[in-house]
A and B are shown apart, each in its own frame.
Chain A
Amino acid sequence: MAYSFEQHKIVGAIAADDDYWRGLEDGVFKLPRCDRCKTWTWPAHFRCGHCGSWDFEWVALEPKGKIFTWTRTQYAFDRVLERKEDVPYVTIVAEIPEANGARVMGLLKGDESGLRIGADVRGTIDPPSAKSKFYPSIRWNIER
């Protein structure tokens, strides 16, 4: 099966995270860990800067984290106009303790109450849609 995001590839950055998006499209939250020295490498890259290994294991994790920071976008910006009708929307950067504090971005899902740095969040996966540029996405729900 062809993955949606592969048909709509966002190019230009490091883009070593294809397995992250594949994972989400398959319904699994995965982050990369060096196969040799076990260092979590996030954002994903092609070589482990610690030990020099080129091999990573994409580890399935429970999508549980803590809010590291967040912003509420109040304006429809040029390259994310797909979300125009959703303004204002909240994007959260969540720290994943299980992955040595790797920080993973995602939109808030559900009620905003309890939105603060340090709050516990749990991820759910949204399938690819026009709003997420035909990529799958993790959405963070605040745990209460």
Chain B
Amino acid sequence: MSKFRGAAAIVGIGQTPYYKRATSPEPEVKLALRAITAAADDAGIDVRDINGFVSYASERSDPAKLMPALGTREVKFASLVWFHGGGLPATLNIATAAIMAGQADVVAVYRSMAESSSQRLRVIVAQNDTSSQYLVNGLDSPAQILALRAQRMMEFHGVPQSALYATVQASYYHAKNNPRAYGRNTEMSAEIYNNARMISEPYRLFDCSRENDAAGCVLVVSAERAKDLKQKPAYILSAPMGTMEGGGALEENWRPYYATAGQTELAERMWRESGYGPKDVDVAQIYMNMNSMGIGAMLDHGFFAMEDAGAFCTFDNLTAPSGKLPINTSGGDLGEGFIHGFGLVPEAVRQVRGTSPNQVPGAKLSLVTGGPGDLMSSTALLGSEETL
């Protein structure tokens, strides 16, 4: 049995409101402070006792900036996961490893974004590492690059547009019940979806994630410590990160498979380490930079085969409380808001606690997948105590 499995748990969650991009009344660092203090309050932990800090990608609210205002007693561990949204669940891997190795006791995993403090989200996330092969040929944004993969998924592999629409429909349906969701008042229908402007074909506007200003944080502690805290712990059963052979910075030359999320090997490791499989999962927060990539993530995790994507991805199957695989129950990256996917982690925790705005009754196993199609990605399975 893996030593990692269940060694640590998420015991606190904190989130600021989602603001329309570039309109946050507070700068990025202040948003980060608000999310971290909220997570400490939620857990019943003195914020000064947080001694580990983990984030990913282009995060700029580093612990050196935060510690004077948090009254941090000592920073013992700080780390950033490489690349982009693919690093999201990997933060839980790093946090757990730090705790297991005795390098930190209370780890804040967080992400903060405010356009006024940096740059537009879709620019800053690229971190100026987009190769000339893309830029010379008119490709800049993840929306365009992932559109290439979506075109392959739809035209070559035959995944229907209805599958993409079902994820949009499910996301906005869930967002309606979530007072935090930026898209809670957005009406959605097939007509609205189809008539929305094209961004980069085959993606229409609502196939794309939002861009918001906000911050979020979850606190990770050892399983032992988690037992005595205020909240029901969400145990981290597995949170592998990585890239398969034939992947990496290969500019649309990924082999052996291309149109999905590049998460097949990660998912296999996760099922092996956790002892569970796709059939056991109660609810999933699927990272959707773009929704076809989220469908790719579900494919790579074994929830269905390519030829069954259309039949599986329906409104009924993807919605709480009783769908086969309710996804993005806070509204997710499409409907709730988007700060590099971070909102998915607190929602995965709420499902284990039983406090989601779209609760899956009795949810015990809660999945959160990382940025699909990223150069490196990750995925994580959270569970209640009875899943240990």
- A and B are interacting partners: yes
A68 on the interface (CB 8 Å rule)? yes
Contact A79 B123 (CB under 8 A): yes
Contact A69 B156 (CB under 8 A): yes
Over the window 70-114 of chain A, the binary record of Cβ atoms lying under 8 Å from chain B Cβ atoms (1 yes, 0 no) is 111111011110010010110101000000001111110000000
B322 on the interface (CB 8 Å rule)? no
* Option from B127, B133, B155 in Cβ contact (under 8 Å) with A105: B133
User: Complex formed: what's the CA distance from A13 to B139 in Å?
Assistant: 14
A124 on the interface (CB 8 Å rule)? no
Using CB atoms, name the residue of chain A closest to B253: A103
B200 on the interface (CB 8 Å rule)? yes
Contact A43 B138 (CB under 8 A): no
Most chain A CB inside 10 Å of its own CB: which residue of B123, B143, B201: B201
B320 on the interface (CB 8 Å rule)? no
Over the window 14-56 of chain A, the binary record of Cβ atoms lying under 8 Å from chain B Cβ atoms (1 yes, 0 no) is 1101000100000000000000000000110000000000000
Q: Which residues of A contact B133 (CB under 8 A)?
A: 17, 43, 104-105
Q: Which residues of B contact A103 (CB under 8 A)?
A: 251-253
User: Complex formed: what's the CA distance from A14 to B133 in Å?
Assistant: 11
Contact B129 A12 (CB under 8 A): yes
Q: Which residues of B contact A106 (CB under 8 A)?
A: 137
Q: Which residues of A contact B144 (CB under 8 A)?
A: 71, 73, 77, 91
Q: Which residues of B contact A68 (CB under 8 A)?
A: 152, 252
B355 on the interface (CB 8 Å rule)? no
User: Complex formed: what's the CA distance from A80 to B139 in Å?
Assistant: 7
Contact A13 B148 (CB under 8 A): no
Over the window 128-169 of chain B, the binary record of Cβ atoms lying under 8 Å from chain A Cβ atoms (1 yes, 0 no) is 111111111111110110011101100110000000000000
Using CB atoms, name the residue of chain A closest to B147: A71
A141 on the interface (CB 8 Å rule)? no
Q: Which residues of A contact B128 (CB under 8 A)?
A: 11-12
Contacts A15-B131, A78-B122 given; does A105 touch B200 at CB 8 Å: no
User: Complex formed: what's the CA distance from A73 to B203 in Å?
Assistant: 10
* Option from B137, B199, B201 in Cβ contact (under 8 Å) with A137: B137
Q: Which residues of A contact B137 (CB under 8 A)?
A: 91, 105-107, 132, 137
Contacts A78-B141, A80-B140 given; does A69 touch B131 at CB 8 Å: no
Using CB atoms, name the residue of chain A closest to B149: A69
* Option from A21, A42, A88, A93 in Cβ contact (under 8 Å) with B132: A21
Contact A78 B198 (CB under 8 A): no
* Option from B140, B200, B251 in Cβ contact (under 8 Å) with A79: B140
Q: Which residues of B contact A64 (CB under 8 A)?
A: none
Q: Which residues of B contact A14 (CB under 8 A)?
A: 131, 249
A interface, CB within 8 angstroms of B: 5, 10-15, 17, 21, 42-43, 68-75, 77-80, 83, 86, 88-89, 91, 93, 102-107, 116-117, 132-133, 135, 137
Q: List 10 A-B contacts (CB under 8 A).
A: A12-B131, A13-B132, A13-B249, A43-B251, A69-B151, A74-B201, A79-B130, A91-B144, A104-B133, A105-B252
B interface, CB within 8 angstroms of A: 120, 122-123, 126-141, 143-144, 147-149, 151-152, 155-156, 197-202, 249-253, 258
